[in-house]
Chain A
């Protein structure tokens, strides 16, 4: 219980730091860049939205920074993130963000689950047949994958499968001559557009699951209870799955909980490269357009997702593995 409370306290603290960063950063920069931008839009948006912006960026000079800070915090907690200035002028930031979230959850969420399942499976096999072909192929591949920028892999896939071979589409999340509808042909079109970005994401994230699973399982394979199972003459697949893998999967499970937090903001550059209109793409749109309110809301969303996932994975670890409860 104390452990959970401490993690909860840490969660609140980090959340506060992220909120404060959002408030302080524009004020720290030379000449408060937000000022000029917002000044331009003052006429075009509702007075209420102007108020939110004033607190957020310190545009209005009639309030001192401390008061601005508190009304900014108040606005965030009541869900007032202001108005998008340039990306979708006049639309509320909340709505613009909500439109983007499903695309990211669909693409990155599904791929994260897939990478976890595939990677864990390959890791189990790698450890089971230690030194086999699969096992010896992985280290060099993984070394290479740690140094290749994700977005560049995406670009190379576009070059080969999109531009040269014309096998797959690589722009946007569906053919935009179509009208979105729940018809098989439209859904098929969306799926087709998701293949290349999903594959990019898959090959760049799967390595970590393989490695962690393999490395933990190698230690459990050396345990006495595995030897015992062998001595009892149990079939190989039962020893592999029920004895060795089952006891080795905890790091991967907590890692999976963590990675869910990275779903929201974890594929920024991949979304950018494929012009896939999710959260990451929206963030870069906001950055390119100096749409500061939208940008801040997205940064907050990404951070909160990560923090919640960290909290959940901490709690999951405490629940699943009693040994960790006393630690730290």
Chain B
């Protein structure tokens, strides 16, 4: 079962070919005649993002709910030793909390999409709590990252000592999830993601960096446009819709911070810098 991840609105992708199943082949009308290219996939319908939103929500809620059902069914069937029932019930509570948190984030994102100019209520957040979210985000994406041999260095010792910032915890969580989601798709296999932070003027700035699909200079701003996908990403047929970074920027700016992509030369590293205002 797939664990819940950061919400990213998706569009349909072309089905991948397989050993048993085959991609739709190019068709040739006559022997020797040039192949007729497969038809272009139809554009997503106008309400696709709404539909994908609901489908994604359903998917993300099912996994923890099924865990809850399985634990409860085990307890009801007397499959859990009496001395372990409390432990399992605590796990059930944990799954329920995850489910509630997911539902809250979905509602939050709904607000984001329907009221794009709204500014969110920010609160003073100790920076170590944001560091914890980076660690939680990594744990959440660990299976996907592990599958690509990707590891993460979070410089938590230095980060934990930084000033409190103005933020909205749900928005922070969403931004972090989306960045890990991107890294799981676009980071180079067997690389390391580096997460560090420093204070810069009246902001705390987090750097999220990894080697991966290079982002050309002319696209460093456009990648934050809704629906934009760089040619390099399209070329490798990476999944995605070009919405995740748009969501990140919307959320960061709604918290009166920002996210930018900065050039990294030699190794084609992708580097995002996220800034949160320091709480006075």
Chain A complexes with chain B: no
Binding site for B on A (CB under 8 A): none
